[in-house]
Amino acid sequence: MEVRAQILEEATRLIAARGFEGTSLQAVADAVGVKKPSVLYHFPSKKVLGQAVLDELLSRWNEILPKLLMASALTGLAKFDAVMHELCDFFAKDTDRARLIVRELLDRSGDTKSVMEQQVRPWVDVVASYIEKGQASGQIQADVDPPSYVLHISCLALASFSTSDAFNTALGKRTRGRVHPRAQAELIRIARTSLFEESYLSHQSNKSGEK
């Protein structure tokens, strides 16, 4: 069972870096240190291996999903901070994750339709409904378009993390392999400032003595 896990790990790394089409079974086998038929013994085809990589990613995501939304004891800014913190942590823990998702969105934009409608959209609707509540209570800016906001911020996190190397180079930072702390702080600032009413934010920061 050890070899199977290694194959999955190296395949994840290679597909994230070079794409599914750009990764050969031979390259995966070489990375693990076995021969090609051994790879095909554990995963009966390349397509199955690719799907296993995505399934592994999805199961990791499902691990933190509860923490994301079941932090329902929190409200307003505290809930927002918890969600953004978990989201950034998820991608920061393994930089391949954002790359894999972005590649999947690019490579199979057609095939992901049903996944989008069945898996992503309900999740977006839940977060959007929270935002609408915040708008009703005046904590959140009235002209926010909740579903678009949720998707844009998701896209922003995905893109910034998946291109973190080029991102840091353009920043002139040498923080390899992960998003620079200042850039991550700015990401969260953009998301927060474009969501909450300024009056609510200043009130919260006064209360908590933050910044």
Residues at the site binding a second copy, with contacts judged by CB under 8 A:
18-22, 99, 102-103, 105-107, 109-110, 112-113, 116-117, 120-121, 124, 141, 143-145, 147-149, 151-153, 155-156, 158-160, 162-163, 165-167, 169-172, 180, 182-183, 185-187, 189-191, 193-194, 198, 211
Name residues whose C-beta falls within 8 Å of residue 39's C-beta, 6 or more positions apart in sequence: 7, 25, 28, 29, 32, 49
Q: Which of 31, 38, 81, 107 contacts DNA by CB under 7 A?
A: 38
Q: Which does 76 bind (CB under 5 to 8 A by kind): a second copy, DNA, none?
A: none
| Look-up of token digits 């194959």 | 7
Backbone angles phi, psi at 56, to 5 degrees: -60, -45
| Look-up of token digits 């339709």 | 113
Q: Which of 16, 42, 88, 164 contacts DNA by CB under 7 A?
A: 42
Structure letter (DSSP) for residue 195:
T
User: In the complex, what is the shortest distance from the CB of residue 14 to DNA, in angstroms, rounded to a whole number?
Assistant: 10
Q: Which does 47 bind (CB under 5 to 8 A by kind): DNA, a second copy, none?
A: DNA
Kindly tell me which of 39 and 150 has the beta carbon lying closer to a second copy: 150
Name residues whose C-beta falls within 8 Å of residue 189's C-beta, 6 or more positions apart in sequence: none
Name residues whose C-beta falls within 8 Å of residue 178's C-beta, 6 or more positions apart in sequence: 92, 95, 164
**Nearest 5 degrees, angle CA 93-CA 94-CA 95?**
120
Retrieve residue 156's tokens: 């922003």
Interface with DNA by CB under 7 A: which range of 37-45, 126-134, 141-149, 192-200? 37-45
Q: With binding defined as CB under 7 A, does residue 31 bind DNA?
A: no
Kindly tell me which of 9 and 167 has the beta carbon lying closer to a second copy: 167
Q: Which residues bind DNA (CB under 7 A)?
A: 1, 3, 23-27, 34-38, 40-42, 44-47
